[in-house]
Amino acid sequence: MKRHPCKYIGIAEKVVCKGVDHLESFCQDVIDQGGEGIILRDPQSLLQPGRSPSYLKHKVPLTHPFLSFVSNI
């Protein structure tokens, strides 16, 4: 990952997905390094800033301790 002047921002390299196994492995690597997940982009769509239906966030949902406690009752 390239360095950015702001310590809270990192510039990620483009990685082409080679299938579901590659996607899950890559996402797990990101999470293991402290990331929240990855953003997938439709390779056929045009790049555009902001929200777009051609972007998909893929991450592991966090469980809230209170919800886990309540579900065990």
CA–chain centroid gap for 24, Å, is: 11
- Whole-number Å distance between alpha carbons of 31 and 60: 8
Instruction: Give the pLDDT confidence score for residue 19 in this predicted structure.
Output: 92
- The pTM of the full predicted model, rounded to 2 decimals, is 0.63
User: Strand, helix or coil at 66?
Assistant: helix
What residues contact 59, with CB distance under 8 A and at least 6 apart? 27, 31, 36, 37, 38
Q: Give the pLDDT confidence of 3-62 residue by residue, as tens digits.
A: 667 887 777 788 999 999 999 999 999 889 888 889 898 989 988 888 888 988 888 776
Q: Give the pLDDT confidence of 62-71 residue by residue, as tens digits.
A: 665 555 555 4
> Domain coordinates of the chain in residue numbers?
1-45+53-73
